[in-house]
Structure 1
Amino acid sequence: MDVKQILIFGLLLVHVRTCMGNRCYADHELSDAADRKLRSRYPQPPDPSPAAAPDSPASCPVALYQQQPPQHISGRSLSPWRYVLVTMKDHYPSTYAEAQCLCSGCILIQDNSGPEKRPLSVESFDYNSVPIKQSRVFLKRELCSDGKTYHLRPVTLEVAVGCTCARVRTSS
């Protein structure tokens, strides 16, 4: 074999390998194929239960910190969050839970030397509540060249999984 034949053979192998990775599926096969691929190649983290509907107003729960804070870390954090459901119809999984920060600032707990001796909580804007993001692989449904079937392309998206307090950015 000369160099030209080896090069042509190599290109043919690349083409065959690429086509095998982009197998086309009929509509009724798509969901099962996506589930198989996600389980075998792209394991998914368990989704937490969403605490509220995405259209309900989110507010900073400063008053809760005057009492006993909730047990879950999302409510005990000085930058509390809730989970909302996000839907992307052309992706698998098509629905997932994403963290939404409830405060702009961060909750500071101050000692109260008054008669009640309960801690006083305030939202401080000297700090920001910022989402903590994690890369997550989804499978995007894309139309094949025949115009009737679909292939699944892995795409990586950043998903908010919680919130934390950070110092306010200052320009230098």
Structure 2
Amino acid sequence: MDLKQVSPGPSSSSPTLLLLLLIIIASPPQIFLLALCLVPAWTWTCMHRCCNGTELEETAQKKLRVRIPQPLEPSPAPHSLPASCPLDLYQRLAEDIKDRSLSPWRYIRVTDQDYFPSTYMEAQCLCEGCIMMLKNGSVVENHDYNSRPVLQSRGFLKRDRSGCHKGKYRLKVEYRQVAVGCTCVTAFSIPT
């Protein structure tokens, strides 16, 4: 059993827990064994029981920090950038890999209040085809190839109402496929 899971932290239940532990230690072996059976009840979180919004938020933040680490989030694209294939980027030297790729992308902010984290960044491919430089130096979008998102499985905690009274929820771990970039692939069929 993980000690981080059992540790009550600085809360109002700490003195109660300390008193209970003292009683258990000073008690006959039968009470000690009974108490050991009850220990998992102390570790119950919003994963196993219904919780109000504040408790749910605190539990979700702890779980995300300890059990489901989240990747660093990239910066979203400014709203002024068009969501079209940026052929002009290849006329100058770009620093960021997402701008130098044959299949460039931008990051968009995705929000879903039923999940923790409720906001995350996802890649959006900017071209249908792939950017190619011709021998004469001109840059074109080549549709013999396709730009496709590169997906990564990321863990989220979902707010689940099943079996809970109004205003209370459980947390459920759920993995979702999130686009983290784009790549250039051969087309299924070459247009004629």
- Inter-partner Cα distance in structure 2 for 1:122 and 1:56: 19
Asked if residue 131 in structure 1 is aligned to residue 156 in structure 2, the reply is no
Secondary structure at the counterpart of residue 54 of structure 2: helix
Q: Distance in 2 between matches of 1:47 and 1:139?
A: 17
Quick one: which of 91, 94, 98 aligns to 1:74?
A: 98
Of 157, 161, 164, which residue of structure 1 is paired with 2:180? 161
TM-score normalised per structure 1: 0.78
Correspondence 1:2-81 to 2 at 5 A:
20=44, 21-53=47-79, 57-65=82-90, 67-81=91-105
Overall identity of the aligned pairs, in %? 49
Q: Deviations over 1:35-71 (max 9, x none)?
A: 1001111001011001134x97401011221x22310
Q: Is the 8 A contact 2:50 2:164 kept in 1?
A: no
Moved over 2 A (4+): 144-148
TM-score normalised to structure 2 length: 0.71
Give me the whole-angstrom Cα distance separating, in 2, the residues matched to 1:170 and 1:106.
14
Distance 1:136 1:151 in 2: 19
> For 2:176 and 2:78, how far apart are their aligned partners in 1?
23
Q: Please list every run of 5 or more consecutive structure 1 residues that lacks an aligned counterpart in the other structure.
A: 1-12, 113-118
Q: Do residues 122 (structure 1) and 147 (structure 2) align?
A: no
Pick the aligned partner of 1:148 from 136, 159, 167.
Answer: 167
Higher helix proportion = 2
For structure 2, the residue ranges without an aligned partner over 5 or more in a row are 1-36
Larger-Rg structure: 2
- Residue type at the aligned position of 2:131: I
Check conservation: 2:123, 2:182, Cα contact below 8 A: yes
CA-atom RMSD, angstroms? 2.3
CA positional deviation for 1:147:
3.0
Does the CA contact (< 8 Å) of 1:52 and 1:84 recur in 2?
no
CA–CA distance in structure 2, aligned partners of residues 97 and 22 of structure 1: 29
Q: Give the aligned residue type for 1:128.
A: N
